[in-house]
Structure 1
Amino acid sequence: MASEPQYRALFLGAGPQMQCGVGQFTRLLGEWIEKAEPGSCTTLTLTRSEGSFTEIWGAVGSARSVVCNFPIVAWKRVMFTPLLAMAMARLRRRKTVLIQHEWAGLHWLRRITYIPALLLANTIVMFSPLVRRELAEDSLVGWTAKKCVLAPLPPNIEAPAGMAASDLRRRLVAARQDGRLVIGHFGSIYPAKQPNALLEIGAILKQRGLRPLIVYVGSFIRGTDNVEEEFHARATELGIADDVIVSGFVASDHEVFGLFGAVDGFCYPLDEGLTARRSSVLACVQAGRPLIVTGPALPDEFDHHARFKELIDRGAIVLVPRGSSADAYADGIVAALKRPPVQAAFDFDGWWQDVANAVRAQL
């Protein structure tokens, strides 16, 4: 007789490579589920040199469920072994739980690599009703949306007790002291986040004599698009090339929040509108600065996420109607900065307990 599996959940990870956003989420989710139920979780490390067929087979057999946040690391360094682990889980009659953050916003080549994971999953955890609808409307795999459940997404990073000084922080502080309007944007820079749209807003603010300095805290994602080249070309065309800073990779949370504390506000003009999966927005809100962003496409986007909805309701996140002009965003920024700051404690642990409970319910 086969022995009872030792663990409730096996998380697929990638060891030290998990410093990317995808891997960071997987690690924290496993830790919070383990806090709620000690001894219930284990992790299988899959890299180019780790994760043999025998190791995967044994690890899958040790747990009742296999949880895969595909791809387990950014892009394609480790792609096929997670799919192999999911296939083994189905063969061994283990439940497979896929965590799916995006769909239509992915490059079509990336969507192709996700299809096997969608097919192998028993349950698909999503964080946004809009993304679930995008999947449902896919002519090839739309039927898999029937396997979707919604969970509340927490921020990946927590505001630390202190902030680290850096040359860039000192530059931003000096700019504000000189009367410049410093607008921040956090996270990886790629087409779906419409990085060039913020440039248009910056140009309008400059025309109004507000002397903006637009700082992108993050770096460009390498892909098949010429995002970085087009970004800098557009900044030059608008006459604000000297008013734009791209930080590149920032090594520590202390340094990230040091930069957050040196901006006047954040702005995210998003073509798809704000969705409940935007963890970069949640990271920014912790800094206590106003955040101006495009309103959601769906009226029920935050119905499953009470904490996110509460941030909007109390004005920490200011919504600009979809389809608004760049002038409307500039107006929103100016108006938000005139209001008293919205200060409130951010219950980081509570956010993670919520998502851990939602995923635990699927195991």
Structure 2
Amino acid sequence: MGSNRYLVLISDTHQTCGVEEFSRLLAARFEARAVTHRLDFNLPNLFRSLKGVDGLVVNFPVVAWKKKLLEPLLAACTARLSGKGVHVILHEWSALDWKRRLVLSPVVLLATELCFSAPEIEAEFESTGLAKIATGNRTVIPIPPNLSPPEKLIPGAFAEKLRSERANGRLIIGQFGSIYPQKQVSSVLSVAADLKKRGTDVFVAFVGSFIKGLDNVEEDFFAAVKNEGLSGQVAVSGFIGSEEELFAIFQEVDVFCYLLPGGLTARRGSVLTAAASGKPVVVNAPSSRTALAHHSLFQRLIETGSIQLVPTDAGIPATADAVLTAQGKDIGPSDIASEVDRLWDDVIIRMDHRAG
């Protein structure tokens, strides 16, 4: 491992998203070589922290971005003026609102290194004019899962609800992660409706919460539930802050199902976490053969059958067939903890190498 010291910016939110969790875990994996600074506009503390490091690490997009973007910009400017590195990790690009990309751009231009969460994100960025003037020091890093199965499970009310539904003979189809339009949660509702028409008693569990934004996400979601004839057969857990409670919920799911725009990519951390639970995950295949080439854990989970791929453009009936086939299917063993450790080692080695 290298000797570079890093300051990792994190937010002060309690309901963390995947990007925020990655920021905190990255700092922890660097151990003594990293310190964190919360985006609370304590500028004296920020400037003191920057003095003792070789580089600044910023993950985008950040939580509460409208309130939190001035401080990363000040930090990046200070780091560059001090001759330090600025390492920007982009987890999304084209999927972000154009106004969000606009205000992220100054920090991106100050970067001495750009890391991308997947080859698709790198390609999206490189197709823009911004790429022509940003640093050419770029790399793709594998994003490890933010959550791992705990030693002990603590069932909460939502897990008990699913257990009750299973006891009544229902097939529990699950999705883990935040609920937002681009995830096309309506397609999973369509899969459940298709199975219901075939005579399968289904229940759909969404383990996560709604993304608040300009769209009427929650209203549109429940309108889709009603339109699919699934009223009373769908439940949303809301934010779950405990790994012990979260993985207890996962144990009550029969099959996880995702139909993603363009197919599976390495930035779908929710798919990775669901598969790490030991339950089968049905998802449409990547549109590119190289999409997962850099990510050993995704490849391993596909090999063991934890992740079961349907064609990228699979329709609802074919996906419903795959869900039925996956139900109760034996999944090969996989040492998730060791694979996760290897991924983190890979991330840190790549960052140290590019910084050096």
TM-score range normalised by the length of the shorter chain: over 0.9
Q: Distance in 1 between matches of 2:277 and 2:318?
A: 24
Task: Look up the SS of the partner of 2:282 in the other structure.
Answer: strand
| Residue 356 of structure 1: aligned partner | 348
Assess, with a 3 A threshold, how the Cα gap between structure 1 residues 139 and 231 changes in structure 2: closer, same or farther: farther
Q: How far has the Cα of 1:95 moved from its partner?
A: 0.9
- CA distance change for structure 1 residues 142 and 213 in 2, over 3 Å: closer, same or farther? farther
The answer to whether the Cα contact below 8 Å between 1:71 and 1:79 also exists between their aligned partners in 2 is: no
Amino acid corresponding to residue 185 of structure 1 in structure 2: Q
Cα distance 1:81–1:362, how it changes in 2: closer, same or farther (>3 A)?
Answer: same
**Which of 10, 34, 41 in structure 2 is aligned with 1:41?**
34
Q: Given the alignment, which residue of 140, 156, 160 partners 2:150?
A: 160
Per the alignment, residue 80 of structure 1 pairs with 70
1:146-225 mapped onto 2 (5 Å cutoff): 146-225=136-215
- Distance of 1:249 and 1:17 partners within structure 2: 10
Structure 1 329/45 Cα, relative in aligned 2: closer, same or farther at 3 Å? same
Asked if the contact 2:301/2:334 (under 8 Å) is kept, the reply is: no
Which amino acid in the other structure matches residue 42 of structure 1? V
Cα 1:7–1:310 shift into 2, 3 Å:
closer
Task: State whether residues 207 and 236 of structure 2, in contact with CA within 8 Å, keep that contact through their aligned partners in structure 1.
Answer: yes
Normalising by the residue count of structure 1, what TM-score does the alignment of the two structures yield? 0.90
Any idea what the Cα deviations from partners look like across 1:78-99, whole Å, max 9, x if unmatched? 2210111011111222111001
Matched, 1:89 2:79: yes
> Contact between 1:181 and 1:210, CA under 8 Å: does it hold in 2?
yes
Tell me the residue number matched to 1:67: 57
- Cα pair 2:254 2:328 within 8 Å, conserved: no
What is the alpha-carbon distance in structure 2 between the residues aligned to residue 59 and residue 135 of structure 1? 30
Q: Which segments of 5 or more consecutive residues in structure 1 lack a partner in the other structure?
A: 1-5
For 1:3, the equivalent position in structure 2 comes to: none
Q: 1:18 to 1:89 in 2, by over 3 A?
A: farther
Range that drifts further, 274-283 or 339-348: 339-348
Please say if residues 153 and 276 of structure 1, whose CA atoms lie closer than 8 Å, have aligned partners that are also in contact. Answer: yes
- Number of the residue aligned with 1:269: 259
Alpha carbons of 1:250 and 1:184: their partners in 2 closer, same or farther (altered >3 Å)?
Answer: same
Contact 1:204/1:327, CA 8 A, preserved across alignment: yes
Alpha carbons 2:206, 2:235 under 8 Å: kept:
yes
* % identity of equivalent residues: 37
Q: 1:170: how far off?
A: 1.4
Deviations 1:15-46 (A, max 9, x none): 46584432221111011112xxxx32222232
Change over 3 Å in CA distance of 1:134–1:143 after alignment to 2: farther
Alignment of 1:51 onto 2:48 = no
| Conserved 8 A contact 1:176-1:182 | yes
Which region of structure 1 is more displaced relative to structure 2, 6-15 or 19-28?
Answer: 6-15
SS at match of 2:206: strand
Q: Distance in 2 between matches of 1:215 and 1:42?
A: 38
Residue 296 of structure 1 deviates from its aligned partner by 0.8
- 1:349 is displaced (CA, Å) by 3.1
Provide, for residues 174-209 of structure 1, a one-character-per-residue CA deviation record: whole Å limited to 9, x for no partner: 211221110110011112211111111111011111
Residue 244, structure 1, aligned to residue 237, structure 2: no
Secondary structure of 1:68's aligned partner: strand
Give the secondary structure class of the aligned counterpart of 1:43. Answer: strand
Partner SS for 2:60: coil
**Aligned-pair CA distance for 1:318:** 0.9
Corresponding position of 2:28: 31
Per-residue deviation, 1:143? 5.7
Find the counterpart in structure 2 of residue 329 from structure 1.
319
Match of 2:220 in 1: 230
Aligned to 1:341: 331
1:12 to 9, 30, 34: 9
1:282 alignment partner in structure 2: 272
Q: In structure 2, what is the Cα distance between the partners aligned to 1:138 and 1:208?
A: 47
| Alignment CA distance shift 1:213-1:75 (3 Å) | farther
- 2:354 and 2:84 map into 1 onto residues whose CA distance is 12
* 3-state secondary structure, aligned to 2:154: coil
- Partners of 1:306 and 1:113 lie apart in 2 by 33
- Cα distance between partner residues in 1 of 2:87 and 2:179: 29
Q: CA RMSD in A?
A: 2.0
* Count of equivalent residues: 351
Q: Deviation string for 1:79-138 (max 9, x for gaps)?
A: 210111011111222111001101122222222222122211111111211111111223
TM-score, with normalisation over the residues of structure 2? 0.92
Which consecutive residues of structure 2, in runs of 5 or more, have no partner in the other structure? none
- Displacement after TM superposition at 1:153 (Å): 1.0
